[in-house]
Amino acid sequence: MQSDAKKTGLLSIVSTGPGNTQQLTPAALKAIAKAEYIIGNNVYIDLIRPLITGKEVVKSPMGEEVNRAQMALDLAASHRVAMVSGGDAGVYGMASIVLEVAERTQSEVLVEVIPGVTAATAAASRLGSPLSGDYVTLSLSDLLTPWEVIEERLDLASRMGVPVAIYNPRSRGRPHNLDTAIAVIGRHRGDETPVGVVRNAYRPGEEVHVMTLAELRADTSPIDMHSIVIIGGIESRIWKVGDDVRGIITPRGYHRKYVY
Amino acid sequence: MQSDAKKTGLLSIVSTGPGNTQQLTPAALKAIAKAEYIIGNNVYIDLIRPLITGKEVVKSPMGEEVNRAQMALDLAASHRVAMVSGGDAGVYGMASIVLEVAERTQSEVLVEVIPGVTAATAAASRLGSPLSGDYVTLSLSDLLTPWEVIEERLDLASRMGVPVAIYNPRSRGRPHNLDTAIAVIGRHRGDETPVGVVRNAYRPGEEVHVMTLAELRADTSPIDMHSIVIIGGIESRIWKVGDDVRGIITPRGYHRKYVY
């Protein structure tokens, strides 16, 4: 009579990568396949639609993350639940808020995080090798972080001289954050700094643009909230074969060690 | 008679993730399956051994990256070649050196980079959600980057207040870099700062340790070159249920926006 009480649940926070079923790991696919409930925001649920036929799907709009986390924990007390989150769930994804709610409620529910291809490296792969080594990951969204904090971080990141991968470079509510960010970066990086913009990496409508910081300053039109902007470091350069632009290379330093 | 000359090659630089076949994407698996030649260093070749039966395998030792890149480009002029690289190939991996050699030789060979689960987020997933948002990726290896540059970057990264994911925290040749790095971080972070150490993430012999910066300073013994060290940001905290340590949470800032 107590079979229900004995049933052990599991909440898998599943990273779905850039949003193409070719870019989820087998571990992520398995967690989705085994789940009784799938929870996520509408955008990510739609991207993995082919994988979830016949499952109980709980959609939830952007902005409802706290409720979604609580709902997932409640269901996972006695069911297998997959909370899906784009890119890597541990980077601007659902992992932190789920664990914050689990901590506050001192939840004993089993929770696992399944890593995935994060948006910065997905975008980088389309540009050649713009990151290569040390780099900074930074979001321009001031929804959860005060703008002064973002600006201070961006200034320090630019002083580091390494590439900076910018998430949420522009949204409808904050159209001018990117212009301000470009001005901050410009204090420490020259006009010729290579910049890569990747919109909808590995998704329908993918666009890849290579330009300079000066060109970005003059025209930010290809950039929206589905884009990642990679600002090159002080050693980054545009990779050309003849006059043909192939991408961006940030050298790792082999030229300092080897003659080649 | 000219069939060989017409044969078009392709060099796929394939990210193999943490080194467990459950953590490669279908796109990576497909590129490996289609390749006639597999090139990589011994460690990564061995980790994907089950996937490459019957293929021509060109192993190459660590330290021979420039030769390996040239060999891959030569073969890929007329064959399908997969260059395998651990984690994400665009982060401390083989993508940059292959493209540097392609640029120098003005190679027309088709090259694609297939992204993967990068070591920072693989390690983070074992610790709960220590990165969550903005963070810095930094290597302590001074093989290709002068130590003064690394130290300056680490100082600026610590001042940003965000988590720092440290690659190559210790190697046989440079046993004291980590102690120096801890001293630099200590200028800007308190003794209670949470630190996560993940050794061999998703590989045999995996270890996960949660400690404070003071504890790390006193005992760095669990750390070797197969480890990632995540230094918490100013808002990071150790996640406990009762007295049981579950991991590290870096909040994203929902507490500033919502009551929950």
A1 pLDDT above the threshold of 80: no
- Band of the pLDDT at A259, cuts 50, 70, 90? low
CA distance to partner chain B, nearest, from residue A4 (Å) = 24
- Percent of chain A at pLDDT exceeding 70: 96
Distance of CA A213 to the CA centre of its chain: 22
- Residue A28 contacts residue A16 (beta carbons within 8 Å): yes
Q: Which of A30, A131, A254 sits opposite B97 (nearest CB)?
A: A254
What percentage of chain A carries pLDDT values higher than 90?
79
pLDDT of B154 above 50: yes
Distance CA A18, CA A22 (A): 9
Average the pLDDT over B187-212 and give the result. Answer: 97
Name every chain B residue with its beta carbon within 8 A of the beta carbon of A256.
Answer: 144
Closest approach of B123 to chain A, Cα-based (Å): 9
| Helix (H) or strand (E) segment spanning residue B235 | none
Kindly list the structural domains of chain A, giving each domain's residue range(s) and its CATH number in brackets, ordered by start.
3-117 (3.40.1010.10), 120-257 (3.30.950.10)
Q: What DSSP line would sit under A114-178, residue for residue? A: E----HHHHHHHHTEES-BSSEEEEE---SSS-HHHHHHHHHHHHHHTS-EEEES--BTTBTTHH
Q: Across residues A139-158, what is the average pLDDT?
A: 95
B4 pLDDT above the threshold of 70 = no
- Tell which residue, B197, B42, B189, has the closest CA to residue B120: B197
CA distance B2 to chain A (A): 26
Per-residue confidence (pLDDT) for residue B260, from 0 to 100? 53
Q: For the segment A104-114, what is each residue's pLDDT rounded down to a tens digit?
A: 999 999 999 99
A144: nearest CB among B23, B65, B254 = B254
- What does the pLDDT read at residue B44? 84
Mean pLDDT value of segment B151-177 = 93
Q: Where are the alpha helices (DSSP H) in chain B?
A: 3-6, 26-34, 42-47, 65-76, 95-104, 119-126, 147-160, 177-186, 213-218, 254-257
- In angstroms, rounded to a whole number, what is the distance separating the alpha carbons of residues A54 and A74? 21
Whether A101 and B65 lie within 8 Å, measured CB to CB: no
Hey, which residues does A209 pair with through a beta bridge?
A197
A193 Ramachandran zone, left/alpha/beta (phi>0; psi -120 to 50): beta
pLDDT in tens, A180-217: 999 999 999 999 999 999 999 999 999 999 999 999 99
Residue A52 and residue A47: Cα distance in Å, rounded?
A: 10
CA atoms within 13 A on the CB side of A183: 6
ipTM entry: 0.95
Q: Is the CA virtual torsion B118, B120, B121, B126 positive or negative?
A: positive
Q: Please, which pLDDT band fits residue B2 given cuts at 50, 70 and 90?
A: very low
Average pLDDT of every residue of chain A: 93
Whether the CB-CB separation of A65 and A97 falls below 8 Å is answered with yes
pLDDT tops 80 at residue A257: no
Which residue bears the tokens 């929950």? B260
The pLDDT > 70 percentage for chain B reads 96
CB B99 within 8 A of CB A129: yes
